[in-house]
Amino acid sequence: MDSLNIFGSFFGVKKLNQDLKKIKKTCLSLQKNNQSIIKSNKGGHQYHFDKNVLSSLTNQIEKEANIFVKNLNLIKDVYIQNIWLNVNKHKDMNMPHIHPKSICSGVFYVEVFENSGDLVFENPNDLQLFLEDSVKEHNIYNSCIWRLKPLNNNLVLFPSWMKHYVDMNLSNKDRISISFNLNFI
């Protein structure tokens, strides 16, 4: 029997080769010179900034995102609509949320450590709840959640409608990442 993946979600993970020391220095400057906002963060800080501040990174994100969305057969390319710095200190986390009015979203990891908080996606298929006690081993078809361990210099792209959250930072070091939304401009 042929197996079809219907209503599947798409995710992209790619190791980039960005200068993390330079990016971290810029992130520290952004943190000092901008007002923190509260969106999905519980504890932690988020700072919006202009994508041109980190043009080498944002240009690469847009290039990778347009490769990533090819399967959607979009009418034109996507670009960064908004971008922000995330700094989660010990015991900070991000509550479950989506990114409305965007085509895809993502995160780039600047500085993460062991136990600094996984990126967790929730399965939008409610029927998965009935399978939970019947599964020998979880996989992409039968899991209620899917965890991605953050890795330095990794780019993760996902559909903006996919509900997700960030686990509590249980390390004693700051977890630094950059999140963004992509859309037509």
Confidence (pTM):
0.93
- For residues 72, 75, 79 and 80, what is the CA-based torsion angle, rounded to 10 degrees? -60
Q: 3-state class of 24 per DSSP?
A: helix
Q: How does pLDDT run across 45-59, given as a tens digit for each residue?
A: 999 999 999 999 999
Q: How does pLDDT run across 107-126, given as a tens digit for each residue?
A: 999 999 999 999 999 988 76
List domains and CATH numbers for the chain: 12-120+150-183 (2.60.120.620)
Residue 32 DSSP label: H
138 Cα distance to chain centroid: 22
